[in-house]
Structure 1
Amino acid sequence: MSLRPLQTYQGSCHCGAVSFRIQTDFPELTTCDCSICRRKNALMVKVHESAFELLSGQEALVEYQFHTMTAHHYFCGTCGIYPFHRKRVTPDYYGVNVFCLEEFDPEGIPVRATVGAGMV
C-alpha cells in the first residue's frame, strides 16, 4: 500500500496534440522487457481507467497492436511520442509513460521490472 497522497498530473505528447490527466498515488513505476517496451524505453505507472482522462487529441492518436492484439498502444500521429497504452492483462487500466507527465520527478518511487517477453 502506498503512503503517497493521491496526486493529479497532466501529461502530453511532445507536440501537445495529445493531452491527458491522471490521478494516482504512484505506488510503483514499472519497466517491461517485451519487444515494444524495450524499444520505447518507457517508465510506466498503472492507472485505472476511472483515473485517466483524455483532454485532447483523440483524432491525433494512432493505435498499434501486435502479438495477441489485446493491448492497445497509442502514439501521437504527429510527433510519434508514446504517452500511454491499454494494458493486456488488466484492460481496465492504462499504462502511462511518466516521462510525458508535466513536472513529474520519479525520484524515490520504487521501480519494478515486469516480464512481458515471456507472456504467451
Structure 2
Amino acid sequence: MTERTMKTYQGSCHCGAVRFEITTDFPELTQCDCSICRKKNALMVKVHESQFTLLAGEDYLTEYQFHTKTARHFFCKTCGIYPFHRKRVTPDNLGINVFCLDGFDPDAIPVRRAKGAAML
C-alpha cells in the first residue's frame, strides 16, 4: 500500500486571472453525473475550505446556482473556465477541477462516479 502525502498545488483558470492553491493527498477524484457536471466534464478533488486559498481573481469570478441553489459553481468571467465549486452536501468543502492544477497528472488516482443526478 502506498502512503499518500499531503502536498500543495497551484492552479488557475485558462487566462490566469483566477489563481488558487490547495493542499490535498488526493484520496480519490470524482466525476459527477448531474446536469452541470456532465456538461462541463470536470474531474474533481474534494478539499476542505481550510485547504483552499484564493490567491488572485476574486473580482473575475462569477457564480452560477441552480436547483436547490445550495452548491455554488464559480467560473472565470474572462475565459469561462470552471476552476471550483462549493459543494451542496458538504458546503464546507470545495470541488476543485483538477484540470486547472498546474502540472498535475490525474491518471494514477482512482475516480469515483458520483450520482449527482439522483440528488433531489
- The answer to whether TM tops 0.5 is yes
Q: Show the counterpart of 1:111.
A: 111
Q: Show the counterpart of 1:44.
A: 44
Deviation at 1:53, TM superposition (A): 0.1
Q: What's the CA shift string for 1:70-109, capped at 9, x where partnerless? A: 0000000000000000000000000000000000011210
Superposed CA RMSD in Å reads 0.8
| Structure 2: gaps spanning 5 or more residues | none
Q: Show the counterpart of 1:102.
A: 102
Q: d(CA) in 2 for partners of 1:117 and 1:52?
A: 26
Q: d(CA) in 2 for partners of 1:62 and 1:84?
A: 11
For this pair of structures, how many residues does the alignment match? 119
Deviation at 1:4, TM superposition (A): 1.2
Report the TM-score, using the length of structure 2 for normalisation: 0.98
Q: d(CA) in 2 for partners of 1:70 and 1:107?
A: 31
Q: d(CA) in 2 for partners of 1:28 and 1:59?
A: 31
> Partner letter of residue 44 of structure 1?
M
Q: What's the CA shift string for 1:16-42, capped at 9, x where partnerless? A: 000000000000000000000000000
Higher fraction of helix: 2
Q: d(CA) in 1 for partners of 2:107 and 2:115?
A: 23
SS in 2 for 1:107: helix
Identity of aligned residues (%): 72
Q: Show the counterpart of 1:83.
A: 83
Q: Structure 1 segments of 4 or more deviating over 2 A?
A: none
